[in-house]
Amino acid sequence: FFFFTYEIVDSEKKEVTLYRAENAKGRVVIPSTVEYNGETYTVTALGPRKVAAYNRSLGVRETDGRKKNEWKVTPPLVKDADCISPFTGYALYNDYTNGIYDNKSITTIILPDSINELGDAAFRKCYGLKEVVNFPKGITKISNRLFSGCMALESIVLPEGITSIGKCAFIGCSALKEITIPSSVKTIDEFAFADSNQSESGLEVVNIMNSEGGVII
């Protein structure tokens, strides 16, 4: 068995982020909605939780003027931080602990049309991931390290509407031979297709599309 864990990110709009898929294997279908306390919530994002934190050695990362003793210590400790804010919206950090990433058994991820964000490193270290099916139209960027370490990913077609490819987005994707980049992409950040200490880039074909859907490079 495997289960999904969600975080409510907007209680008024009834939106949640899927940030954990424990023991997920094989072909994984992400639902578009979930039920909680009799309410229906829309799954709009995948990725790490956003938490407010401070590092003891650096001092409180406070942006609202609250004092250090007003921050609550919450175990288990977030990486590189040892306290979690009792309020939200300040000094946000990605909590990569127990994420959807670092999974050797997921081979296919099918996204619902409700998804409009794939957070930083959402699929990081999904070593067995071979394909992502159905990029929703609401997704406009390939986030930093989104597919880093996905060593089984062989090819991917990014849909029209993607405007940027983030830093180290495909780093360490040693099996990636071909990628199709739409005309809507305006920026490709550094090391987007680099190798890593564990593997070398196997990228051979990069298709750059024009607005009519034809390959120009």
pTM reported for the whole predicted model: 0.76
Say whether the peptide bond before residue 112 is cis (omega within 30 degrees of 0): no
Distance CA 75, CA 131 (A): 35
Amino acid at site 141:
K
Q: What is the pLDDT of residues 143-172, one digit of tens each?
A: 999 998 899 998 899 999 999 999 999 998
4 falls in which pLDDT band (50, 70, 90)?
A: confident
Only one residue has tokens 């990605």, namely: 94
